[in-house]
Structure 1
Amino acid sequence: MGHSHDHHGHHHHHHHIDPEAGDRQVAFAVAINLLLTVAQIIGGVVSGSIALIADAVHNFSDAISLVIAFFARKIARRPADARMTFGYGRAEMVAALVNYTTLIVISLYLAWEGIARLIDPPAIQGWTVVIVAGIALVIDLATALLTLRLSKESANIRAAFIHNLSDALGSLAVIVGGTLVILYDWRLVDPIITLMIAGYILYLAATEIGPVIRNLMLASPDGHDAEDLLEHIQEEEGVAAAHHLHLWQMTEHEAALQVHLVVSDPDWPAAMDIRNRVRAMLVAKGISHVTLEIERASEACPNAPLIGH
């Protein structure tokens, strides 16, 4: 059930990265982050450094965003069944939405912290904090690199990737700010860098969350215009009219369309020929799931809207 069309859509997208290999990379990234988190908590407790524990919390949030992404990938690959007739592909979009939302919250919190520190610059911390941030930066970059290739083709992994990137930037801020405070007592550098990073993360998350929300709202896929496709359908020979058109994104890389075709010719073989031509035209335009309902001109839906119901 559903297997025939379930797989043809995937080959040409993932030919350069095998899903299982991708899963291994994400799992490895999770493991690195969790190990670092545990190490930092132990170090923080032993040395009494709040900075270490704070950084551990950051890395833990990265690990969680990667865990969410990992399970979403697994779920998304399940074939369609009676409960989820469209398949599970949307799981990745739901995960991306969750991860971007938490990222927006984190960046707003960072901005708040930055402003608080502008008003009341903190006391000088020692080199320990800077060294910790250096170690964290290395791990964050390693994690980001593990998910870099996957992030280019998956909104889900991109959300987790930006989580890690934001953390790497945070570590960078601590290194630069901390060093300058220790050497020159420039206390405003740290909050200023923090604010800049918070702004940048907020910008990234806000621009990336848009397409995810559109996808969940069943918006028309990018690069396809519903009115334009409707025109092409109506221009096909033998099509008297078309209405009730729905165009949406099935998965991140597959578009779907359904429409009622009104056929001017009452002769059934001719109607089938028209249907096949319209389907071929739409598939050639990159729409993989096409559902057409055929009506005779004499008994078509009266005053039907062209798009939607």
Structure 2
Amino acid sequence: MPHDHSHGHHHHPIAADAGDARVAWAIAVNMFLTLAQVIGGIFSGSLALIADALHNFSDAVSLIIAFVARKIARRLADERMSFGYGRAEVVAALINYTTLVVLSLYLLYEGVTRFFEPETINGWLVVWVAALALVVDLVTAALTYAMAKDSMNIRAAFLHNLADALGSVAVILAGGAVILFGWTWVDPVVTILIAAYILWHVRAEIGEAIRVLMLGTPPGLDPEQVAGAIEAVDGVREVHHVHLWSMQEREAALTAHLVIEPGAWARADGIKARVKDELEEQFSVSHTTLELECSSHACVGPARFGQDR
């Protein structure tokens, strides 16, 4: 049975070298900040500051993972990885989100523990180190902001830094509360709030990475609507065994069996080309594989989506 395969074009909205340089600078400043915050947290006795330091360290690690994933993703397809290496960035995003979950649970535990075992806190040291952290977080976020729009991988790292910038603001407020009112209990409260905020961000983003890796239907595409558009093409009797998924974050793909109307087999190639054009124009599905079946030899009782069980 005839079949055909079409390929979409890959887009790189930001020059690779410029993007790599930004990520490298972001890694450097976050490593510096982590060291400064750990030292400040130890000498000030602030758990919130150490929590922020751990989060900044996770920022640096996430950026390293993002940096490596960007390099891998640019490799061309080969005989071992025929779909290419683009999903390396999705894997990196999932790793980063998972580390955020683990980190947040640890901070929740430490924050609750500190309620029962309070420690003396140097409020001024907390404020000055947290202020430095805020500046570094904002610089890092600025370095990765543009790339975050087009890459799930970089977006995960960007969210690390955005959450950490807000965490630094909270730590400054905690240090101020110690200076002005002697409220040491604000420190563990801020730690718990930082952890809860990180988990809230992860909950909103991790599903997309899992969906891509699980070959789920791209968001915004209704499988039945796509199948209906295929069957609306003149000469198509039926479509079945439809698979609709994301090759990587922004590249939808489809495979399907196309049953040609009786008497239309002579123009099957034209029908196939028209189906591919419709998928590209209506749904931006650029990677398409179609297997053609004549009506007299079509699959019997096939599944409309996926494979027969």
- Please say whether Structure 1 and Structure 2 have the same fold, judged by a TM-score greater than 0.5: yes
Residue equivalent to 1:111: 108
1:55, distance to aligned residue in structure 2 (A)? 5.8
Aligned partner of 1:127 in structure 2 is 124
Q: How does 1:172-187 map to 2 (within 5 A)?
A: 172-187=169-184
- Could you report, residue by residue, the CA deviation over 1:88-146 in whole angstroms, capped at 9, with x for unpaired residues? 11111100000001111112222222222334443232422321222122112211121
Deviation at 1:211, TM superposition (A): 1.1
Secondary structure of the residue that 2:10 maps to in structure 1?
Answer: helix
Map 1:1-309 → 2, pairs under 5 A? 5=7, 8-10=9-11, 14=13, 17-38=14-35, 57-266=54-263, 268-285=265-282, 286-309=284-307
Tell me, in whole angstroms, the C-alpha distance in 2 between the residues paired with 1:214 and 1:155: 12
Residues 206 and 88 (structure 1 numbering): CA distance in 2 closer, same or farther, change over 3 Å? Answer: same
Structure 1: runs of 5 or more not aligned: none
Q: Which amino acid aligns with 1:294?
A: L
Partners of 1:176 and 1:190 within 8 A in 2: no
Q: CA deviation at 1:187?
A: 2.5
Inter-CA distance 206–56: structure 2 relative to 1 (3 Å threshold): closer
Shift of 1:208: 0.4
Q: Is the 8 A contact 2:45 2:120 kept in 1?
A: no
Q: How many residues align?
A: 299
Contact 1:241-1:262 within 8 A present in 2 as well? yes
**Conservation of the 8 A alpha-carbon contact between 2:123 and 2:178:** no
Q: In the alignment, is the contact (CA less than 8 A) between 1:124 and 1:182 conserved in 2?
A: no
> Of the two structures, which has the highest relative contact order with CA contacts closer than 8 Å and spacing of 6 or more?
2
d(CA) in 1 for partners of 2:173, 2:61:
27
Q: CA deviation at 1:53?
A: 7.2
What corresponds to 2:3 in structure 1? none
CA RMSD of aligned residues (A): 2.4
Structure-2-length-normalised TM-score: 0.88
Checking the alignment, whether the CA contact within 8 Å between 2:73 and 2:86 is kept in structure 1 is yes
Unaligned runs of 5+ in 2: 1-5
Q: Which whole-Å CA distance do the structure 2 matches of 1:124 and 1:31 have between them?
A: 29
Which piece of structure 1 moves more, 216-225 or 18-27? 18-27
- CA drift of 1:57 comes to 4.5
